[in-house]
Chains A and B, each alone.
Chain A
Amino acid sequence: MQIIYTDVLVIGGGLAGQRAAIGAKRRGHDVVVLSLVPAKRSHSAAAQGGMQASLGNCLGAAGDNEDIHFADTVRGSDWGADQEVVRMFTHTAPKAIRELAAWGVPWNRVARGEREITVDGQKKTISEPDAAHGLITSRNFGGTQKWRACYVSDGTGHAMLYTMSNQAIAANIPVHERMEALALIHADGRCHGAIVRNLMTGELLAYVARATCIATGGFGRIYRVSTNAIINEGMGAAIALETGVATLGNMEAIQFHPTGIFPAGILVTEGCRGDGGLLLDRNEHRFMPDYEPEKKELASRDVVSRRMEEHIAAGHGVKSRFGEHLWLDIRLLGADHINNNLREVKEICQYFLGIDPVRELIPVRPAQHYSMGGVRTNHRGESPQLRGLFAAGEAACWDMHGFNRLGGNSVAETVVAGMIVGDTIADFCDSAEGALQLSTSLVDEFGRRESQRLAEIANGKGRESAFELARLMQETMTAEVGIFRDGDRLEQAVATLQELQLRSRNISLRSSAPGANPELVTAYRLQRMLKLAQCVAYGALQRTESRGAHYRADYPRRDDLNWMRRTLARWPSPDDRLPALDYEPLDIMKMELPPGWRGYGARDYIEHPDTGVRQQQVEAIVGDPGTADRHARQEKLMPFRHLLPEHLRKDNQRLGEDT
């Protein structure tokens, strides 16, 4: 088996992975990026509507800053997020976007003077100030108080990913394409790289590294209906889980996006609603104001998706032969706006639905979209259990999203996390601990193990079909572990997944084609995906409350008293049939923003006694005349800057705000 040595191995070539790679490379370390596909085809490219960063340039963003972005994100998370991490994120997001602007992303810009916008179904004329002309503009998104989603038409992720990839090429960072990590090499709580399969030739290789970073995105494909690319099978999270050492955080926190086109589940951006689009029912009635008078179509995604499903269940869905759906109406935005700012949406409607959204309604229904959970790391992106293992982006759970992510916060997170974790990795490599220290017999042992696992599948004499079992898993997750969950159905799902796991050991392949063998790929990924699916289903069964996107019909209230805790899942032994769950507490007494009502969604929740105490402390600090300056006040409430790499600690400059 060929062994490739590098300082840093980054698994995943999307925005997070490539930015982490650039960060480590800049600090003088050799980096290799592994990617299932050419890096520019990563799922980051699918982000359409925008990247949240509180620049505050355009009129709708005036007055925005890190404080408001922080509060929006914590409320969005339904208080599940790590507030220190949210602070680190909101502080770094403006720096990330400015770096990308200098690197070449053609962000849409503010144009001075009057323009027409659509708000709440009405046309309005606003006038952008001269001072903002040519600065990066932003659009409205769900769950935010300001227009904060900076965008490149509706191809934001594409433009960001191309710029990032080009920078990685400029930095001479090799991307080994069509390579899949099958297992992390580890011993005694230290990770040393990965056993990797070449998806063109089928051969196994070992990549031995001082630091290994998982940046493989989400695992949406455990669901049947998902906006995710078909490569989003969560293999990075799965191989971390299979170490038996590293943990996965909050796997039950799954986001469903309100506007997947029906029935294909392809995403149309939240920007459609941010720019003024409406949701209509079978009678073309705009129903969201009936449920959510404050934010209407622009409540957070978990809330809007639930309201949509509730409305369909109440008999207001549009019936079609594929099932029921609702309508997204962007006709009122006009042809000019759609042709310029929502052109990918227009193409998707044309090609997949055969409709023109300038004149016609778009059939939509919520679809699985995002994995808030992932490889548990600390605020620096390090696995607390497995030294030398790092994670960034959607694959990670450093926990800035809690139980619901705000639109536009994920692409922002990828780049911010890449910036921070890239430095963490470099620090680690610079430290004594970062030295390479393993025997090649360990590498051989892991190589043999993976080779044997593949041979077992390839020579399997059972009667099961990998494709069929994968389909059953996806059906189960969509039907039983979806937007509305309850104990009975979750128990059913856990049992079904256990059965599928047993059956997945009796797969036989019909094809023994030399090379990658796509059927073999499906089979070995399925065994890992079933473990992820079980972490989701079992975690959801155990969490007897409703928080953010995790909604239990039998426990409809958020329960801060019992559930101010993050789920940690481990898979101690390959023969285990369920993950081992642990919980780590979130300390209300350290929160800058103690739990409360989100400003949309349910008002009813079970309070923790600490909340009142902490609220009083916060009010005392806010009321102290010595803390009139917002930075000084924030520092008193919950210091965070010391957690950031030093070069990311400074204030962000803004129009009308001195630094």
Chain B
Amino acid sequence: MKHIPLRQAARNLRIQILRHNPRDPDSQPHLQTFEVEEADAMTLFIALTEIRERQDPSLQFDFVCRAGICGSCGMIINGRPGLACRTLTKDLPEQITLAPLPAFELIGDLSVNTGKWMRGMSERLETWVHSQALERLDINAMEATMEPELAEQIYELERCIECGCCVAACGTARMREDFVGAVGLNQVTRFRLDPRDERSDAAFYELVGDESGVFGCMTLLGCEDMCPKDLPLATQIAFLRRRMAATA
């Protein structure tokens, strides 16, 4: 490859955005269309920033890393949840519809409060290493060993960026507000796999052994299909369900 791939003729994108500002008593949810001339290598981050700067400075959305690693910019893009920052407009039709992720508290327009939801999930599932040994940890001494493959397997599950796409894509989460979602169940499998965490299956069962946990999953597979990090969510949930069923 000798050049960055480019598009020939510039398209005129019609970007339709579901707008609503809950802080404004006069605001009603409505669709508003913006026209943007497509540029080379344009992402939805670039397009939305341009709309805010040139057309409507009140437009709310969340971007942080703009590199697909922080999970801030999950939104519904032409009906499917995804990360806006790494979505190239050239991969979309001229007509683009954007909406905030459902299942999360709306802050305004495309901005939703995933942070609050994820913190709640972490507190509820206690997503940290539980270990008596931490009390006596000697940080001057050699670290405990771990099999190299196991460390890689844990990282595979740790790659989750808590973007909320799996929750937005989940049938159960749409029906049950207290469902922990694939993101939560994945965390449980991550800590269950980690030998540093001393919790037993019985302890994990206490956390997810009901309909708001692993038995709430209807195996619709939306989570895995929509995961921007391609995490093996369905396999992990199926595995966890078997373990939890055995524990019950």
Contact = CB atoms under 8 A, between A and B. Distances in A.
Contacts of A200: 107-108, 113
Contact of B58 (A39, A347, A511): A511
Interface string B126-169: 11110101100101111111111001101100110110000000
B152 to A, nearest CB: 7
Given A352-B86, A652-B140, A515 B23 contact: yes
Contacts of A6: none
A169 B133 CA distance: 19
Contacts of B2: 318
Contact of A513 (B1, B24, B154): B24
Interface string B19-42: 001111000000000000000110
Contacts of B127: 166, 169
B197 interface: yes
Interface in B95-141: 107-108, 113-116, 118-119, 122-123, 126-129, 131, 133-134, 137, 139-141
A99 B134 CA distance: 9
A40 B146 CA distance: 25
A322 B127 CA distance: 45
Contacts of B194: 104, 106
A104 B129 contact: yes
B72 A170 contact: no
A120 interface: no
Interface string A155-193: 100110011011101100001011000000000000000
Given A43-B64, A104-B128, A230-B64, A655 B155 contact: no
B236 interface: no
Nearest to A102: B137
B137 A99 contact: yes
Interface string B66-105: 1111111000000000000010100000000000000000
A369 to B, nearest CB: 13
Interface residues of A, number: 91
B21 A166 contact: no
Given A98-B141, A320-B3, A38 B68 contact: no
Interface of A: 37-43, 45-46, 55, 95-99, 101-104, 106-111, 133-137, 152-153, 155, 158-159, 162-163, 165-167, 169-170, 175, 177-178, 200-202, 229-231, 262-264, 266-267, 318, 320-322, 340, 344, 347-348, 351-355, 360-361, 363, 467, 509-511, 513-519, 522, 650-655, 659
22 contacts: A37-B62, A40-B115, A43-B65, A45-B161, A96-B139, A99-B137, A99-B139, A101-B143, A101-B144, A102-B143, A102-B196, A103-B128, A109-B147, A109-B148, A134-B146, A162-B158, A169-B123, A169-B128, A178-B107, A352-B86, A515-B108, A654-B142
Given A162-B158, A200-B108, A511-B58, 5 more contacts: A40-B118, A99-B137, A104-B196, A109-B148, A135-B142
